[in-house]
Chains A and B, each alone.
Chain A
């Protein structure tokens, strides 16, 4: 039995193709059952997200199964194979194992270090378990997948530091203030990005969000979404001493906040720190303001630079992650092969035992006048011959490191062929 996988992802196929081949969670049980019923796979799991569709399975005939899965995909989705065959990738054995590790640990994701894929994988496993398409191999494998994903996440920094501008802004706010509860934010203007930052802030426990807009109706509308307070645009200057975070994203062409505004506010605040995020283009806040004491001003460029740095760092960390994934894949492949050793050895010794019994019966039939003592001697002798013949090969399989000599798999296959174990 070998582990195989087949699929396509955002790197190999366009969204259009991915959409057509995706499985909704209602369809997955049907598909899994079909894969087992049609004897394409012995065990199966389907992972279907907006970025990838992947099928993991266990089979005794990897090559055939992969071809059958391709045909199955085509039949199931009613799409001719030649339309998508070139986007598919498929692996078996160690490479398939590795692919699952890479996917679950986000090494294969659009955003390195994202954690969503791991929970999607857990859901896929859950679903397949409910359907009953998870057997001993996939069960063992997926538990290992979750372990490896966690290991890569904790032993490397692939998930360190925010990699989106709005999240970066919020993390900076937390870095400056710690707890955001009890802090107030002022949102100026109604840009998309500003709103997104406000949403993140609210999510991180920001107490109050005040919204000022040229159009009071718009301010009211946004304020309602975040349980905030709408302000008339002219009012916002008076609110400056009270707010700790200011986000600007208006379409105004010149600076609406100048050093003198903030200087006055800081005096009233007794220099309690203030964090300003200018995500407007052109900018709304005079960059000179960053020179003021206890004022931290970040514009879009600053945030993007930080994000880019984090992305680079994550990419560098991803290399370490790959090394871990490869080591772990090798280890698991080895374990799987070792697992299959037991039934083969069992078959081998039971075949020998059968032969011995048969021959013993024949001998007893010919030698009619044997005393029970003599029978026992023959019995013991034949058992000892069988044991001694089997002893060396058994020991070699169990203890010697066969990894470098082509792996267990080839040995097992050879033994199975030499002794015709499939006929037993």
Chain B
């Protein structure tokens, strides 16, 4: 990795996070606009750094846990930039950015080389990794949306003052639902491609790997989410809570990945 680019992008993400957080205190729209500019800048630097890495190393290019953290921070930044093109989610910005910042910091301090780099040479590895990262970042978005929904639902139910800075309750719920659907599809693809990878490397579709187990549990939780949403009318708070449980499992799976 090009350390200059990595360090600079980390610094810029830290500034962006600071701007988003201070938006809460000073209530100036300018601050979150600045935050978004910095996020974009950090994202571009990260993209440059990743493409240089890819050009230099060829395939595979994610060789350490640090690389993975760095890559997930990049995917999250891309996702947030995409979502904020259409939706008014400044409040989510500070949560999102804090997490991106944590991931990019982890990339520095918890950098362990993957022992079994030859495993990554299977073409299924790339497909699996792309789906897995996309699924994770989409579910992270669901997590943030879920938290915002629960907060706003609580305010409305208990007749507290509400903020104009969030989308409507139903708008949030719909967005959450769409994101969970997308995440579910990606997760399914990630599981299938992961099995194919296992087959190509180890000769069996399933083997004694906790990640496979956890991701299937997460898949079941989300499948249940769709089931009860349609049959039992669990739209709203209950569905969101269920998706939060699903995300906890996903998070566990994600952290497990670091111990290959």
Contacts and interface: CB of A to CB of B under 8 A. Distances in A.
Decide if A and B are genuine partners: yes
A74 to B, nearest CB: 48
Contacts of A178: 167-171
Contacts of B235: 270-272, 294
A294 to B, nearest CB: 5
Nearest to B157: A296
Interface string B149-161: 0001000110101
A310 interface: yes
Q: Chain B interface residue count: which class?
A: 20 to 34
A309 B159 CA distance: 11
Contact of A302 (B27, B159, B233): B159
Interface in A265-305: 266-267, 269-273, 290, 293-294, 296, 298, 302, 305
Given A271-B235, A293-B236, A177 B168 contact: yes
Contact of A298 (B27, B159, B161, B238): B159
Nearest to A272: B235
Interface in A313-359: none
Q: Chain A interface residue count: which class?
A: 20 to 34
Given A296-B157, A305-B159, A310-B161, A176 B169 contact: yes
A309 B161 CA distance: 8
B155 to A, nearest CB: 9
Interface residues of B: mostly helix, strand, loop or mixed? loop
Interface string A385-421: 0000000000000000000000000000000000000
Nearest to B236: A294
A161 interface: yes
B162 interface: yes
A294 B159 CA distance: 14
B237 A293 contact: yes
A174 B168 contact: yes
B159 A306 contact: yes
7 contacts: A160-B164, A161-B161, A175-B152, A267-B233, A269-B233, A293-B237, A306-B161
Top-8 shortest CB links A-B: A178-B168, A271-B233, A270-B233, A178-B171, A302-B159, A294-B236, A176-B169, A177-B170
Interface of A: 155, 157, 160-161, 172, 174-179, 266-267, 269-273, 290, 293-294, 296, 298, 302, 305-306, 309-310
